[in-house]
Amino acid sequence: MKVTMEIGKHKSEIVIQDFHEEYFVRMIYIAARTVADQCMKCGIDKKEVEEMMLEEVRTALEDIEKNKKK
């Protein structure tokens, strides 16, 4: 599995060969915290950051469900 994360001008790609769900979930938590921290440092309101991130999570979960059905 290849995971790509972009924050502004910065892009990071990680290849996960042995899928360990615990490590993957931890990586997602760290990414979410990093994004939230950077948004708030840029002056974006906490509520706006929260709404944006929750919408992304909802969309990701919907995409996963759609892909499972294929």
Domain locations along the chain: 2-69
Threshold 0.85, pTM exceeds: no
Name the more confident of 31 and 14: 31
Query: Mean pLDDT score of the chain, rounded to an integer?
Result: 79
Residues 48 and 40: their CA atoms lie apart, in Å, by 9
CB–CB of 40/49 below 8 Å? yes
Answer whether residue 2 shows pLDDT above 80: no
Percent of the chain, pLDDT > 90? 4
Residue with tokens 């924050």: 7
Name the more confident of 46 and 6: 46
Answer whether residue 42 shows pLDDT above 70: yes
